[in-house]
Amino acid sequence: MKKTFLLCAFSICFFGNINGQCSPNFLFTSLGIPGVYPPELPVPGVPMVGMDDGAVGSTYSQILTLVVLEDTTMDVASFLPTSAVTTMNLAGISTVMSLDVNYVTFDVSGLPNGISYTCDQNNCEYLAGVDGCISVGGTPTQGGNFAVPVNMTINAQIPPIIDPILGTTVFAGMAVDVPSFPAVEYDLFIDGATTISEVTQKKSLYPNPTANKAILSLLLTSDVLVFNILGKEVLKANDFKGELVLSKNDLGKGIFYVMVKSDNKTETIKLIIK
């Protein structure tokens, strides 16, 4: 029986993964903390924050990593018959309990016209503990600031509830859907007037990859933060404008994330120093 269940579970994971348009970011899955990444707000040890900005008429692409939880704690009183809750209260059984998660379903809303999303699992449904990703992309046809929530619906298993004194079954147990809620809400900016060349002129990082040093050129006053692959801050420059030298002598070799904050926008650029 156990082997049959494992085979079925494997089949669901394998055949369900038919989209295959993205891969989860190891930097986030290695954290082991359930959620949707990159985070919208800064998190210690995590260099990438929020969704990238875009521009009308320009191809947009963003990968969201999903770290799916395996259990959750909640008050199950609203899912139980009144008689069961009354019996539990009399028996001193708490209605707040830890539940195993069967699966989690995600959806993305609020995207501007021209941008859509796909998941690497059918119907964006993920078995407990199975990490995944959402590919957001397209060519936006409208500009502005967009609130983009990534909503999560949890299907959890309420276990059988036994009266500890009488030994009788208070509730037989069942699977329930927890009402959908935003796991994260991104602020997505789509520039409706700026062309690709104008965006490029405002900030550039070259050469990249580099064997010695790279120049970060900024036409707008910005705050600059540089993180290594482990998420440790290795360089910081506030209110900077002009050319900032990022050298191997100062940073060492490896992969770095250069975060540039200006005009209420944040952009992260991957830098490779060989």
Question: Per-residue b/e over 55-74, b at no fewer than 16 CB within 10 Å?
Answer: bbeeebebbbbbbbbeebeb
Predicted pLDDT of residue 10: 34
Beta strands across the sheet bearing 60-67: 35-37, 60-67, 132-138, 115-119
* Contact call for residues 128 and 12 (beta carbons, < 8 A): no
As a dihedral over the C-alpha atoms of residue 187, residue 193, residue 197, residue 203, rounded to 10 degrees, the angle is -40
* Pairing state between β 233-247 and 54-55: unpaired
From CA 261, how far away is CA 238, in angstroms rounded?
Answer: 9
* Contact call for residues 203 and 218 (beta carbons, < 8 A): yes
Predicted pLDDT of residue 182: 92
Mean pLDDT per block of 10 residues along the chain (274 residues) reads 33 41 90 91 76 90 94 90 90 91 96 95 94 95 90 94 87 91 91 49 78 90 87 89 91 88 79 88
Helix, strand, coil % in the chain, rounded to nearest 5: 15, 50, 30
From CA 184, how far away is CA 264, in angstroms rounded?
Answer: 19
Please state which CATH number belongs to domain 196-273.
Answer: 2.60.40.3080
Helix (H, G, I), strand (E, B) or coil at 260: strand
Start-end of CATH 2.60.40.3080 domains in the chain:
196-273
* Contact call for residues 155 and 104 (beta carbons, < 8 A): yes
Predicted pLDDT of residue 2: 31
Predicted pLDDT of residue 135: 96
Helix (H, G, I), strand (E, B) or coil at 247: strand
Q: Read off the DSSP letter of residue 43.
A: B
* Contact call for residues 169 and 161 (beta carbons, < 8 A): yes
Could you tell me the two tokens for 225? Answer: 């933060």
Q: Where are the alpha helices (DSSP H) in 51-139?
A: 82-91
| DSSP strands (E only) in the chain | 35-37, 54-55, 60-67, 71-75, 96-108, 115-119, 125-127, 132-138, 144-158, 161-162, 169-171, 174-191, 203-206, 213-228, 233-247, 254-262, 265-273
